Amino acid sequence: MDRVELGGFLRSRRARLRPADVGLAPGPRRQTPGLRRPEVALLAGISVDYYVRLEQGRGPRPSEQVLTALGRALRLTADEHAYLRRLAHPAPEPPSRPVPGNVLRLLDRLGDVPAMVIDAGYDMVAWNPMLAALIGDPAAWPPRRRNRLRRLFDTGDAITGNRLELARLCVADLRAGGRYPADPVVRSLVDELLEESPEFARLWAWREVVVQRTLTKRTLHPVAGPLELDCEILAVPGHEHRLLVYTAAPGSPSAEGLKRLLTA
């Protein structure tokens, strides 16, 4: 059980709520934003002392019933509730395995759209020629640069028009994955970015938790021109890997741009 992160997550979710959000009167002289601890305890039906100890990282492991009550009291989303449950009852991480052959075959069949496979630490582990045409050939890059998060926090990237938006969404997704801090690779990546990027540190401190399933990437390509691409993020069942596929609306300028990439 990660008591420190669980306490920090509860504090962050409490701070974002106002009394009116949960049907409580605001009352006089509120010195801090968000709900007070006794208010959360009341809404969850647990003792104030127990809730205080949870926030301070001193409490016992909460039961499923308590976690459900806290999720309801703090108005957690499904992704946030799942994250809270993993903090209290972490499951063993599945062993790291190679990309399944069927996923690699699917990647090869996606000849007219950019696609890649990433692992739990956001490293690019496989890609197709169209992805290389879109962003450059990752095989020619140092291994460290093949990490999508590192690339998003590279402030020299002037190509991705919505880099800051994508960075926020990917940080929320990294936390939602539930592999921090148990996975040493993910923990090392987070520690590195916390030290090197004030932008990452600010986003990480928000403790935003959202599993990303669809993203929009805007970029200006020297051959394809302005592109707005929908990125579908497909989980590989039983594996840490995910398949990312970039498509454009049929008949759109971006779709025509992808055709130019295909024939370039």
pLDDT band at 189 (very low <50, low <70, confident <90, very high): very high
Where do the CATH 1.10.260.40 domains begin and end in the chain?
3-88
CATH topology of domain 101-263: Beta-Lactamase (3.30.450)
Measure the CA angle with vertex 67, ends 63 and 71; round to 5°.
170
Closest among 69, 75, 115 to 88, alpha carbons compared: 69
What pLDDT digit, counting tens, does each position of 96-153 carry?
A: 778 889 999 999 999 899 999 999 889 999 999 999 999 889 999 998 889 999 988 8
Q: Tokens standing for 69?
A: 């009550």
What pLDDT digit, counting tens, does each position of 17-53 carry?
A: 888 787 777 766 766 778 889 989 999 999 999 999 9
Q: Which residues contact 221 (CB under 8 A, 6 or more apart)?
A: 134, 159, 227, 257, 261
Tell me the pTM. 0.84
Q: What is the mean pLDDT of residues 70-78?
A: 94
C-alpha–C-alpha distance, residues 262 and 81, integer Å: 42
C-alpha–C-alpha distance, residues 86 and 62, integer Å: 11
| 18-22, 144-148, 186-190, 236-240: least confident range | 18-22
End-to-end CA separation in angstroms for the chain: 52
Q: Which residues contact 88 (CB under 8 A, 6 or more apart)?
A: 1, 6, 61, 62, 67
Where do the CATH 3.30.450.180 domains begin and end in the chain?
101-263
CATH code of 3-88, in short, is 1.10.260.40
Handedness of CA 231, 264, 110, 127 (dihedral sign): negative
Q: Which residues are paired to 118 by β-bridges? A: 124, 242
